[in-house]
Amino acid sequence: MAEMLVKIEPQASVSLPMPLLDKCVHCGFCLPACPTYVLWGDEMDSPRGRIWMMRKSTIGEAAADANLQKHIDNCLGCMSCMTACPSGVEYNKLIEETRAQIEESTSRPLPERLFRWMLFATFPHPQRLKLLGVPIALYQRSGLQALARRIGLLKLLPKRLQAMEALMPTVPLNPFRTLMKVSSVKTTRARVGMLTGCVQDAYFGHVNAATMRVLAAVGYEVVVPKSQGCCGALMVHSGLEHEAKAYAKRMIAKFEEAGVDTVVINAAGCGSTMKEYGYLLRDDAAWAARAAAFSARCKDVSEVLAELPIEAALAPLPLRVAYHDACHLSHAQRIHAEPRALLAQIPSLDVAEMAEASLCCGSAGVYNLLHPETAEELGDRKVQHLLDTHAQALVSANPGCLLQLQASLRRNGHAELPTFHMVELLDASLRGLSVESLLKRHNQGCRRDR
């Protein structure tokens, strides 16, 4: 009744397709799956509450104002609500469209705009990240980082900069080294293109190298197009639609030139975005069909590897690991069984499951930089579940999750617990590495095998 009496004159509202909004029947099954609802218990920070606000704004009963912006910003975009929803609500489309429209219609305070500008000016640019890697490597290897952490100097920084420092990966000594060519086995089963990524390319070159070796070992010819740039995931998740479309078009053209049937991706966030290019560019007459065809060719590395039996010998890795589901793999791409099936092929590897496995670790793209307190809470929760498994290492399939969990482990006094991308373990097993040498290489920050 109060709603009928108080007539709001919205300055601007969002406008979302009613068929998408109508799919939500307000049942609430998604609430326990939502990390922000689990933490705060606030309906407006649940999927149901957010969809309700989107609807109110779409029918003109609420403005696209700072309040809506706050609850939409709080969403991690983990898509856990989509897995939990029995009505098939396409929350990914709703949140991305809402974010794009909010960015157009509302402004943010200057410090917020500056911080976001800094993120977008660095993260989607592998060359800039590599350049930044030089001072970061000096900071890390000169002992300055250890000193600053020990004496608590970093606590003087604003919280977001503290988070940035805590999440920094161990940067390779020479981030500008390029991927080595990896020769495939003689009978090539198929030709695939590989995405190198932004953060993955700059700071996780060892994961890209391991991916190439594993693909080659099972018989794929791997093509790595040069100057691929960014897939646009960060832009899509932040409502920067125009920029995201430009990145998508560039990526499509690059891989079309390479003439590959499959595009292999080893970063979950990039994979889920690239599989949605068809939707992103659906209204662009010149690109819609190309984007849809490209998206159909994109596959996570675990999907590609699961298609062909691994015929090469796999050496035992007697190690107990906990597998962490990256949200953009398990929820956004519904890839759950494949990584587990691949790890199960490694003799003597014991794979443990964690409690609350479907709950986000707090990484969520740049969420852990924009909302460090919430991200830390989720990271600490995940670490506790990890420790409960008594695993000797953590395995995941997304660089963002690995960085988030490394920082969470350090914060909780377990810096010694190693983290690996799933392909690193397959690679070690295919190469016959012992557990000792795998852990030693990890402990030494051995990132020189690119």
- Summarize as ranges the residues that interact with ligand SF4 (CB under 6 A): 24-30, 33-36, 47-48, 50-51, 75-81, 84-85, 87, 89, 91
Q: How far is the CB of 22 from ligand SF4 (least distance, A)?
A: 10
CB 361 within 8 A of CB 377: no
Q: How far is the CB of 93 from ligand SF4 (least distance, A)?
A: 12
CA distances, 180 to each of 205, 213, 421 (Å): 10, 10, 19
Q: Which is nearer to ligand SF4, 334 or 440 (CB)?
A: 334
What does the DSSP assignment read for 177-208?
A: PPPPP-PPPSS--EEEEE---SHHHHH-HHHH
Q: Which is nearer to ligand SF4, 88 or 152 (CB)?
A: 88
Structure tokens at 79: 């898509």
Q: Which is nearer to ligand SF4, 78 or 291 (CB)?
A: 78
Burial zone of 219 (CB within 10 Å; 0-12 exposed, 13-18 middle, 19+ buried) = middle
Question: What residues pair up with 263 in beta bridges, in sequence order?
Answer: 193, 298
Q: How far is the CB of 23 from ligand SF4 (least distance, A)?
A: 7
Q: How far is the CB of 221 from ligand SF4 (least distance, A)?
A: 37
Q: Where are the alpha helices (DSSP H) in 218-300?
A: 233-237, 241-258, 268-274, 277-280, 288-297
Q: How far is the CB of 202 from ligand SF4 (least distance, A)?
A: 27
Bridge pairing between strands 190-194 and 319-323: unpaired
Q: Which is nearer to ligand SF4, 130 or 328 (CB)?
A: 328
Q: Which is nearer to ligand SF4, 51 or 319 (CB)?
A: 51
Q: How far is the CB of 78 from ligand SF4 (least distance, A)?
A: 4
Residue 277: which residues within 8 A CB-CB, separation 6 or more? 248, 251, 252, 291, 292, 294, 295, 298
Q: Which is nearer to ligand SF4, 82 or 195 (CB)?
A: 82
